[in-house]
């Protein structure tokens, strides 16, 4: 348990670089779905209090993307913020002009765990002369479940496709003496009620901490835009994460069991690995926000994402590779650390085989529910 907790703190990140299973090459569907939700980001920006200027000093709008990873999506968010605020305030050479005609400057903080591939992210930034720079940028390594910024220093936070990741595997889930022990599984879907309750408690604890930190760091009139994986309210509880999680979780579990049956890893390796992911319902999400009390909800809904685009839906091999690469993008570094990259290769080969068998079903049904949320300081 402690070993995987340290792995999450020290090595958890999306797959870096630009290889076949890298995040930058496997985040196109996330980008397409995110673009469908950007209107809520713009509505959130409409609600923030614009920064005031001091004599002889340009007003500064500060924004932070929490869980930025290393792909194009975080830069998309930054561009939308600059474009929308420029439209609101009038165009200026370096940003926009406020009511007194002074230019607004923009500073973006890209935040993720220290293991994130910030080098790849910053290579994506447009190379511009200082005079043409749309915004200033900096990396902030650390967990968004902790304080990251000084008090009252940020105008707007964004967090897209990150808050479903927990800070740790819940207490007891990897403990053989605990009723929440998740033996023979690596995911919460289909687990025992005790395991599900442990995941729900961990989600609630993480979200309370997240909101508390952000309420301290936001400037007066600040706001947060959130997109997170979620699940339908009609599910029976935490251990029913929904159909698409059942499919993915089942294939992933089966891939581990294949390695065990073939004598390539022992059962202990599977039992000691758990995916630190929890997809909440809208009601669970709202309950945490209401309990914290620091924010008012501008918008909160569940949105069904569109399925990924496959060049040839009839090509089972292509669909299988897409699914295996997608899962490796998300969990590759954790699994490499847990069983070594050679065994990780074997695991994802089996994941691809299982996905090829279910290719038609996956292409048609691979739609993840997303929680879409806009919050303002109360």
Q: Cα torsion at 36, 372, 96, 94 (round to 10°)?
A: -80
3-state helix, strand, coil in the chain (%, to 5): 45, 20, 40
Between 16 and 220, whose confidence is greater? 220
Band (pLDDT 50/70/90 cuts) for residue 88 is confident
How many percent of the chain have pLDDT more than 70? 91
Is it the case that residue 111 has pLDDT exceeding 70?
yes
- Region 232-260: what's the mean pLDDT? 90
Least confident stretch, 270-274, 337-341, 366-370: 366-370
Least confident stretch, 13-27, 63-77, 226-240, 262-276: 13-27
| DSSP line for 207-248 | HHHHHHHHHHHEEEEEEEEEEEE---TTS-STT---HHHHHH
Burial readout 342-353 (b: 16 or more C-beta within 10 A, e: otherwise): ebbebbbebbbb
pLDDT of residue 93: 36
pLDDT of residue 99: 47
pLDDT of residue 313: 67
- Region 187-202: what's the mean pLDDT? 95
pLDDT of residue 129: 56
User: Alpha-carbon distance 130 to 132, whole Å?
Assistant: 5
Instruction: Please answer whether residues 252 and 327 qualify as being in contact, where contact means their C-beta atoms are separated by less than 8 angstroms.
Output: yes
In the block, which residue shows the tokens 């009252």?
A: 152
Band (pLDDT 50/70/90 cuts) for residue 95 is very low
Between 309 and 16, whose confidence is greater? 16
Other beta carbons less than 10 A from residue 357's beta carbon: 12
Between 318 and 209, whose confidence is greater? 209
Band (pLDDT 50/70/90 cuts) for residue 41 is very high
Between 58 and 38, whose confidence is greater? 38
- Region 119-147: what's the mean pLDDT? 86
* pLDDT per residue as tens digits for the range 263-300: 999 999 999 999 999 999 999 999 999 999 999 999 99
Q: Report the SS3 class of residue 202.
A: helix
- Region 187-201: what's the mean pLDDT? 95
User: Alpha-carbon distance 246 to 362, whole Å?
Assistant: 12
pLDDT of residue 277: 95
- pTM for the model: 0.91
Least confident stretch, 99-103, 198-202, 310-314: 99-103
| DSSP line for 300-341 | EEEEEPPPPP-S-TT-HHHHHHHHHHHHHHHHHHHHHHHH-H
- Region 183-195: what's the mean pLDDT? 93
What the chain holds in terms of domains, given with CATH numbers, is 2-377 (3.40.50.150)
Is it the case that residue 62 has pLDDT exceeding 80?
yes
Helix (H) or strand (E) holding 150: none
- Region 165-190: what's the mean pLDDT? 93
User: Alpha-carbon distance 241 to 323, whole Å?
Assistant: 18
Is it the case that residue 91 has pLDDT exceeding 70?
no
Determine the distance from the C-alpha atom of residue 65 to the mean position of all C-alpha atoms in its chain, rounded to a whole number: 10
Band (pLDDT 50/70/90 cuts) for residue 3 is low
pLDDT of residue 177: 93
pLDDT of residue 235: 85
Helix (H) or strand (E) holding 378: none
pLDDT of residue 86: 86
């Amino acid at each position: 348990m402690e070993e995987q907790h340290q792995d999450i703190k020290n090595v958890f990140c999306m797959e870096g670089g630009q290889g076949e299973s890298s995040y930058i090459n496997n985040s196109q569907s996330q980008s397409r779905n995110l673009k469908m939700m950007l209107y809520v980001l713009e509505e959130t920006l409409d609600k923030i209090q614009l920064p005031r200027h001091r004599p002889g000093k340009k007003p500064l709008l500060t924004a932070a993307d929490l869980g930025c990873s290393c792909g194009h999506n975080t830069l998309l968010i930054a561009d939308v913020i600059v474009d929308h605020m420029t439209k609101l305030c009038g165009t200026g050479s370096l940003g926009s002009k406020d009511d007194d005609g002074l230019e607004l400057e923009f500073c973006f903080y890209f935040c993720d765990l220290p293991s994130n591939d910030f080098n790849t992210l910053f290579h994506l930034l447009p190379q511009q002369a200082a005079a043409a720079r749309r915004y200033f940028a900096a990396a902030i390594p650390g967990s968004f479940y902790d304080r990251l910024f000084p008090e009252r220093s940020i105008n707007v936070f964004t967090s897209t496709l990150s808050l479903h990741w927990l800070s740790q595997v819940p207490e007891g889930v990897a403990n053989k003496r605990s009723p929440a022990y998740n033996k023979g599984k690596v995911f919460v879907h289909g687990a025992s009620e005790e395991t599900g309750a442990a995941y729900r408690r961990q989600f609630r604890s993480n979200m309370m901490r997240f909101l508390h930190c952000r309420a301290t760091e936001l400037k007066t009139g600040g706001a947060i835009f959130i997109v997170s994986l979620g699940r339908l309210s009609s599910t029976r509880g935490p251990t029913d994460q929904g159909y698409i999680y059942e499919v993915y979780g089942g294939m992933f579990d089966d891939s581990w069991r294949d390695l065990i049956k073939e004598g390539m890893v022992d059962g202990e390796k599977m039992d000691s690995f758990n995916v630190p992911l929890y997809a909440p319902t809208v009601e669970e999400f709202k309950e945490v926000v209401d309990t914290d009390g620091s924010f008012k909800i501008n918008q909160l809904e569940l949105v069904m994402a569109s399925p990924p685009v496959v060049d040839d839906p009839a090509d089972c091999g292509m669909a299988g590779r897409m699914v295996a690469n997608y899962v490796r993008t998300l969990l590759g570094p954790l699994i490499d650390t847990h069983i070594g990259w050679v065994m990780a290769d074997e695991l994802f080969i089996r994941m691809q085989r299982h996905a090829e068998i279910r290719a038609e079903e996956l292409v048609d049904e691979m739609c993840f529910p997303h929680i879409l949320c806009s919050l303002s300081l109360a």
